[in-house]
Amino acid sequence: MTRSVAIIGGGVIGAGWAARFLLNGWEVRVFDPEPGAAARVEAVIDRARRALPGLGDVALPAEGRLRFCSLMSEAVSDAEWIQESVPERLELKQTLYQKLQEHADPAAVLASSTSGFTPSELQLASNNPGQIIVAHPFHPVYLLPLVEVVHSARNHPDMLENAHDVLTDLGMFPLRVRGELPAHIADRLLEAVWREALWLIKDGVATTQDVDEAIRMGFGLRWAQMGLFESYRIAGGPGGMAHFLKQFGPALHWPWSKLTNVPRLDDELIAQIAEQSDDQSGDFSLDQLEDQRDRNLVGILRSLMAEGSGAGKVLRKRDVARAADLGLPRRLADVADPTRPIVTVSRAVPLDWLDYNGHMTESRYLDAFGHATDAIMAIIGCDADYIATGGSFFTVETHIRHLDEARAGAPLRIESRLLAGDGKRMQLWHEMYSGDRLLATGEHLQLHVSLDSRRVCPAAAPVAAAMRTLAKAQADLPRPEGAGRAVGDPR
Amino acid sequence: MTRSVAIIGGGVIGAGWAARFLLNGWEVRVFDPEPGAAARVEAVIDRARRALPGLGDVALPAEGRLRFCSLMSEAVSDAEWIQESVPERLELKQTLYQKLQEHADPAAVLASSTSGFTPSELQLASNNPGQIIVAHPFHPVYLLPLVEVVHSARNHPDMLENAHDVLTDLGMFPLRVRGELPAHIADRLLEAVWREALWLIKDGVATTQDVDEAIRMGFGLRWAQMGLFESYRIAGGPGGMAHFLKQFGPALHWPWSKLTNVPRLDDELIAQIAEQSDDQSGDFSLDQLEDQRDRNLVGILRSLMAEGSGAGKVLRKRDVARAADLGLPRRLADVADPTRPIVTVSRAVPLDWLDYNGHMTESRYLDAFGHATDAIMAIIGCDADYIATGGSFFTVETHIRHLDEARAGAPLRIESRLLAGDGKRMQLWHEMYSGDRLLATGEHLQLHVSLDSRRVCPAAAPVAAAMRTLAKAQADLPRPEGAGRAVGDPR
């Protein structure tokens, strides 16, 4: 049976909720009388369609149906969940709930996206306060898992459990907040940083960019994967959290920040934190936590490098400088001896290339060969500038022999040559080594295409000429052992 | 010429510095008279050897030489850079610098890892104050790029530029702090969060785990890639930063946090922030920033999913539930009709699988086929439990035909069958579809191995039996078109 949700308020938060429900198969009914609301919601959903379905490794349910309702009653009737995301004015919300509840199923969950108000405040003017909770999400709602769920004594435990299940089923992480307080948990932390950041700007010590770099080049990377306390637990070394607190506790009394109403870090509070930290992370040794952290950080940093964003931009710049230091050729003129195989890749195996067998996973052999192919493309003049003019090469066929294993940190070197190249079609041969060990060979057929028509077409004259020059220079190399193999051919 | 660095203090920060310099080709001389210091430094360097060299896509220089020095003079003489990471006591550092400077090259950079003190304080007792700066890194130093560089009026601009170049060359991001203030920038922000978090624990509203989840499931993911202001700029929508400030500014006067000494957000401060934010992000439209953010978030979330850590654990759990909903078989008994190809993968193309040609990149075809192979392995009983007993399959040969393209969000389905399976050796055939379009075929040869000896050996009896059963059931399927091809064979 199709489940349906009423989205009350189609701003950026409401639209994010609409996308998350819709792409998880719910019927979504949006009520927002603002002109242009439908177009704004559709734009967010379009964005979410590119990002959310591919987030996991398993397909989501078929997309639900989206309706824009001109009457609130139409949106709300039969809805199993009602998500309110209207502006942050308490009276507005209270009045709205009275109207909503006239038409709503009394058993539906009425959840507010409020970042500031408590359930008790929201429930105050309602005849059915037990159906009202806070479900506070984070922007962009269709990607970030966190949703803070806050309740009062008026909410029945069964209803809260149901709410928890619905949110989990949407791929979210419902964090059950243990008490009612203004701004719940996350926004209190954000507010603390925000206030300190405003002081830094106001005092002229930092710009907005300085603050952002100070976050995303450092502790932001830690916090994406472990948070505050677990990171500090590791920093405490073998002594753990209690050691960390004793070492860094005194800083609380330094005049570091302008936010000076500090709690007393007495023995009781230290014991409380150390005990909670043991509950949280005590199942893992320091060594295991450090392993986890390093794998996470390498994965995050490398994903940012693929985008050339934030810390990934730093890594990319460094790679460009290193490639130049190593003399890795990126133009035909840089190739010292074109009659020999060309070293196209020199790198080490990243931590995030390993699989459950403890070695470099099969697809990363092709990933590395793909880098080698990119280098050959650049050498014959099919670089980023050329691709921007609308021509490129697509790989149409690949054969890999996985001959040996590689572990994290092991050096990799790829030597590449052209088996054929006629201006439209090129056949590449890559050999991957770690030191003297041959790890794999790759044989690849590339066709030149127009990126407009997506069809095969001849390369521009200089690229075709360079391809032929290189193919001719390498034509006298002996045919490599293993070329022309089909899978399973006898050795 | 080999460059050399003196590491003064071999705690967790000093050891992180040692690793970063060493793996970037520097000669590293460590001075730390504490017993056991050498072993602790070596342990950090071993950890770094797995993580740092593979972080970028280009090899680092050959590792430098590591020496532990029993005399400070031995560590310091000839060093181009001296990095001090001793405990945070001002007088200790000042006295130490006097000794260091007796032996140091007066042109060397003497950088302190201090998180609290200013350069002016550190320089106070020195005869050569101009060589002393702050270079404050973040744990783990060998992975996180941020280093806050702080100077006083006593430091020469040329020396600061040199320091900047050295740190950049180490793959770091030197953030030049515009003024001297206690705790520089990042630690002031951290301290603000820390103080608020302590209140939450003390008041019993949240546990350490609640605080960590509130961070890493939500804004921690934003901060890993954009930071505070750029994230808020996006949240402000088309109105940008000024709109955001007007909308959320009033919250500063709410009693949200206990850190209540708040700056006045007057027109002047609003204008200052909006202008700085324009300088920082104004070259990009809102749409571009949102695209960037979504690609970053998907990349980060998927890298965490690969590790099953933090938000990635949530995604994994969701995938398990979805795979069950879809009826994707994970045991032979679940396969409805073993005489037909088996649907092993049903998913959408993730945003981070695209390349510069705007479509799914070649290695991700093999990545998806790898998931299909994993599913077949599970179906014949080679699942995580079996692998834990020391048996597994390694892919030794792969042939892919890339027949059509796929864009972000496109649905993918893989149908898989056994071409052969004799208990030790199995030959797989995968077909990848998007709707009715055949995107690619994959042919793979897998051998059963012992994970101890890393050599081929027969699979355990139940696995061998299941493999034979499945191969026999599928033996009557017609041989697929394209099987047995070598690269470049005529169609």
Q: What is the CATH number of the domain that holds A85?
A: 3.40.50.720
Res B259 pLDDT > 60: no
Mean pLDDT confidence for A101-118:
96
Look at A156-170, B208-222, B245-259, B289-303 and tell me which has the smallest mean pLDDT: B245-259
Is B405 in contact with A454 (Cβ distance < 8 A)? yes
Task: Determine, yes or no, domain membership for A466.
Answer: yes
Task: Determine, yes or no, domain membership for B300.
Answer: no
Q: Name the domain count of chain B.
A: 2
Are the CB atoms for B93 and B116 separated by under 8 Å? no
Res B438 pLDDT > 50: yes
Dig out the tokens for B287 from the structure.
């749409």
What local confidence, expressed as pLDDT, does residue A200 receive? 86
Dig out the tokens for B112 from the structure.
């302190």
Task: Compute CA distances A87 → A32, A156, A191, B488, whole Å.
Answer: 12, 27, 18, 62
pLDDT band at B471 (very low <50, low <70, confident <90, very high): very high
What local confidence, expressed as pLDDT, does residue A149 receive? 98
Instruction: Nearest by CB to B363, from A307, A367, A384: name it.
Output: A367
The structure tokens 């004015």 sit at: A89
Instruction: Nearest by CB to A185, from B192, B210, B234: name it.
Output: B210
Strands B342-348 and B391-402: unpaired
Which residue from A minimizes the CA distance to B355?
Answer: A306
Mean pLDDT confidence for A454-481:
96
Q: Which residues contact B110 (CB under 8 A, 6 or more apart)?
A: B82, B84, B97, B100, B101, B104, B131, B132, B133
CATH of the domain at A278: 1.10.1040.10
Are the CB atoms for B428 and B437 separated by under 8 Å? no
What local confidence, expressed as pLDDT, does residue B41 receive? 97
How many CB atoms sit inside 10 A of residue B176's CB? Answer: 12
Which residue from B minimizes the CA distance to A190?
Answer: B193
Look at A34-43, A188-197, A437-446, B220-229 and tell me which has the smallest mean pLDDT: A188-197
Q: What's the rounded Cα separation, in Å, for the pair A364 and B153?
A: 50
What local confidence, expressed as pLDDT, does residue B166 receive? 97
Are the CB atoms for B14 and B8 separated by under 8 Å? yes
Q: pLDDT > 90: what percent of chain A?
A: 79
Res A269 pLDDT > 80: no
SS3 assignment for chain B: CCCEEEEECCCHHHHHHHHHHHHCCCEEEEECCCCCHHHHHHHHHHHHHHHCCCCCCCCCCCCCCEEEECCHHHHHCCCCEEEECCCCCHHHHHHHHHHHHHHCCCCCEEEECCCCCCHHHHHCCCCCHHHEEEEEECCCCCCCCEEEEECCCCCCHHHHHHHHHHHHHCCCEEEECCCCCCCCCHHHHHHHHHHHHHHHHHCCCCCHHHHHHHHHHHHHHHHCCCHHHHHHHHHCHHHHHHHHHHHHHHHHHCCCCCCCCCCCCCHHHHHHHHHHHHHHHCCCCHHHHHHHHHHHHHHHHHHHHHHCCCHHHHHHHHHHHHHHHHCCCCCHHHCCCCCCCEEEEEEECCHHHECCCCCECHHHHHHHHHHHHHHHHHHCCCCHHHHHCCEEEEEEEEEEEECCCCCCCCEEEEEEEEEEECCCEEEEEEEEEECCEEEEEEEEEEEEEECCCCCECCCCHHHHHHHHHHHHHCCCCCCCCCCCCECCCCC
Task: Determine, yes or no, domain membership for A255.
Answer: yes
Q: What's the rounded Cα separation, in Å, for the pair B372 and B413?
A: 10
Q: What's the rounded Cα separation, in Å, for the pair A413 and A315?
A: 20
Closest by CA position to A482, among listed A438, A428, A443, A437: A443
pLDDT band at B450 (very low <50, low <70, confident <90, very high): very high
Res A239 pLDDT > 80: no
Res B7 pLDDT > 50: yes
Are the CB atoms for B143 and B52 separated by under 8 Å? yes
Which residues in A lie closer than 8 A to residue B210 (C-beta atoms)?
Answer: 175, 177-178, 185
Res A243 pLDDT > 90: no
Mean pLDDT confidence for B266-291:
81
Clarify whether residues A11 and A141 are in a common domain: yes
Is B395 in contact with A402 (Cβ distance < 8 A)? yes
Dig out the tokens for A487 from the structure.
């899978």
Look at B124-128, B211-215, B260-264, B335-339 and tell me which has the smallest mean pLDDT: B260-264
What local confidence, expressed as pLDDT, does residue B358 receive? 85
Clarify whether residues A256 and A157 are in a common domain: no
What local confidence, expressed as pLDDT, does residue B256 receive? 47
Which residues in B lie closer than 8 A to residue A400 (C-beta atoms)?
Answer: 366, 397-399
For residue A140, say if its preceding peptide bond is cis, omega within 30 degrees of 0.
Answer: yes
Are the CB atoms for A349 and A407 separated by under 8 Å? yes
Which residue from A minimizes the CA distance to B250?
Answer: A88
Task: Determine, yes or no, domain membership for A409.
Answer: yes
Let me know if B181 is exposed, middle or buried by CB neighbors in 10 A (0-12, 13-18, 19+): middle
Domain hosting A341: range is: 327-473
Query: Roughly what angle, to the nearest 10 degrees, separates helices A240-248 and A267-281?
Result: 140
- To test the contact with chain A by mutation, choose from B215, B319, B443 the residue with the greatest count of A C-beta atoms within 10 A, namely B215
Are the CB atoms for A428 and A444 separated by under 8 Å? yes
Are the CB atoms for B347 and B374 separated by under 8 Å? no
The alpha-carbon radius of gyration of chain B (Å, integer) is 29
Clarify whether residues A10 and A153 are in a common domain: yes
Task: Determine, yes or no, domain membership for B486.
Answer: no
Clarify whether residues A259 and A128 are in a common domain: no
What local confidence, expressed as pLDDT, does residue A192 receive? 85
Clarify whether residues A198 and A135 are in a common domain: no
Res B169 pLDDT > 70: yes
Decide which of A176, A209, A228 is a domain's last residue: A176
How many CB atoms sit inside 10 A of residue A106's CB? Answer: 10
Clarify whether residues A248 and A371 are in a common domain: no
pLDDT band at B255 (very low <50, low <70, confident <90, very high): very low
Task: Determine, yes or no, domain membership for B380.
Answer: yes
CATH of the domain at B374: 3.10.129.10
Res A46 pLDDT > 50: yes
Question: Could you report the per-residue pLDDT of A346-384, keeping only the tens digit for each?
Answer: 999 999 999 988 899 999 999 999 999 999 999 999 999
Dig out the tokens for B139 from the structure.
């744990």
Taking the model in full, what pTM does it have? 0.92
The alpha-carbon radius of gyration of chain A (Å, integer) is 29
What local confidence, expressed as pLDDT, does residue A210 receive? 94
Decide which of A142, A176, A210 is a domain's last residue: A176
Task: Determine, yes or no, domain membership for A457.
Answer: yes
Q: What's the rounded Cα separation, in Å, for the pair B210 and B226?
A: 23
Decide which of B139, B157, B176 is a domain's last residue: B176
Clarify whether residues A149 and A238 are in a common domain: no
Task: Determine, yes or no, domain membership for A155.
Answer: yes
Q: How far is CA B355 from the centre of its chain?
A: 20
Which residues in A lie closer than 8 A to residue B192 (C-beta atoms)?
Answer: 192-193, 195-196, 257, 259
What local confidence, expressed as pLDDT, does residue A264 receive? 67
Is A279 in contact with B56 (Cβ distance < 8 A)? no
Mean pLDDT confidence for A335-355:
95
Question: Could you report the per-residue pLDDT of B70-108, keeping only the tens digit for each?
Answer: 999 999 999 999 999 999 999 999 999 999 999 999 999
Q: How far is CA B409 from the centre of its chain?
A: 24
- To test the contact with chain B by mutation, choose from A228, A316, A365 the residue with the greatest count of B C-beta atoms within 10 A, namely A228
Counted across chains A and B, CB pairs separated by less than 8 A come out at: 639
What local confidence, expressed as pLDDT, does residue A256 receive? 47
Clarify whether residues A286 and A332 are in a common domain: no
Are the CB atoms for B448 and B392 separated by under 8 Å? yes
Which residues in B lie closer than 8 A to residue A358 (C-beta atoms)?
Answer: 451
Q: Give me the amino acid identity at A7.
A: I
